[in-house]
Amino acid sequence: VQVISFKSILFPALAGFYVFRDQGRVWSDNTDTVVQDPDKSSWHRGLGGGLWIAPLGQLAISADYAWSNDNEQAFFVRFGFFF
């Protein structure tokens, strides 16, 4: 979601934020593994959010933080978006 459009001394830019949610299941060709390990048969959920800035309205630089129900956390800084 674009929140602001501003013009600095160096360049104009756009900035905003985003939120995301994901859910998935681990699949295996070995069905015994799924039955023996209940963690692999459950659904895994993740969510997070981030900020982005697009100098000159061309290239987006984004930073986001994500966490999951598996107690995993991650921080990303990248050029562009995942979508």
- For the segment 31-57, the average pLDDT, to the nearest whole number, is 74
E-strand stretches of the chain? 2-7, 12-25, 43-55, 61-68, 73-79
pTM above the 0.75 mark? Answer: no
d(C-alpha 3, C-alpha 13), whole Å: 11
Q: Which of 18, 25, 3, 8 is nearest to 80 (CA)?
A: 18
Residue 38 predicted with pLDDT over 60: no
- For the segment 30-41, the average pLDDT, to the nearest whole number, is 54
Task: Name the residue type at position 45.
Answer: R
Residues of the chain above pLDDT 90, percent = 35
